Structure 1
């Protein structure tokens, strides 16, 4: 994995390509059920992480704890696997959760549609070996990458099953282990036997969804929408 910290721009309505040494900080925000509570404000319940809910608010993705209020004035009252209950301008609303990574199937392909947040980044809940994670899409990362703390939480025995090596980061060479993941999933798109890198220490802070996964798919951007497509 090579890291430089320079963002890569998506090409409009064209497949994404990786440029060596260039990293894209993208995180996939999967948009599901629209609810208009006040002045046509669009709210989407994206995902749940314990007592937190990921809410898409008019193009801004917010992660709120129960009892917390976003800068837009949306307060999270409760959340479970199926619903997030919010309070906005005095009105209580239950936002129904559709399975993470709502898919669109047409002809011989499966698609996951992803919306950008206000900063232009993309993120998505997904899973590694059946365990829930939050991905940051990185077309500059050769593989799916994570730090050792995340790997330990996911039960990845990289110290014994991985191949030791080093990777190039913004801080220089870092010790790392190369492993193979049984399954990586985003929405209804799941790929098996995916190469991954586990870095010693706390870097990267996010789980990077790199090219060992992305290169097997087609990615297309139209405005604030990115489509992740798997051909059958």
Structure 2
């Protein structure tokens, strides 16, 4: 549900700390988060917020060859369009392996709230927007979800962004204070990082979520994987 993101975005008049966004390269600056008489547009919203607080956007740099989409020329145009005439900071992460792409879709707001999931804010390969009523539009839909996270797990999302941002730009972001508990449900974020991809990530370490041993007790544990999707020649990736 794309519209859900708007409810927790800082109002342009609110004094907040920071907003981070990492996307997998599929970001349309003119994508409308809400539809109707007064649509909210991604670039306009980020620009208004960036006029008051730091807004950092990290995009996958794209495929190195134009036979695959989005390729780096496409993403450079996205970056330039997003930043033009605004104070939005946008960097392109080119760390990758052959036939590999970043699949992270994360938004962190004020180090208090995070959205983690598979939803792209884009019209690439089809409009990803949806509403509460799931109106039919006569085209193939996208089966994607995102989770809103509050509490200590937000720090993990922010730290992961900071790791990638530092590796890409050289800027070291201030450490995040551990957020207070926000409820009685324990949340753990588990990431997959290829060996040697980032200097700050431990090598040869495969961490398994603590919930896995208790899958039999699924009344108290829910495992939500976000699998990577390989690039396919011809510009299409199977909707995840």
TM-score range, shorter chain: under 0.3
**Structure with the higher fraction of residues in strand conformation:** 1
**Structure with the higher fraction of residues in helix conformation:** 2
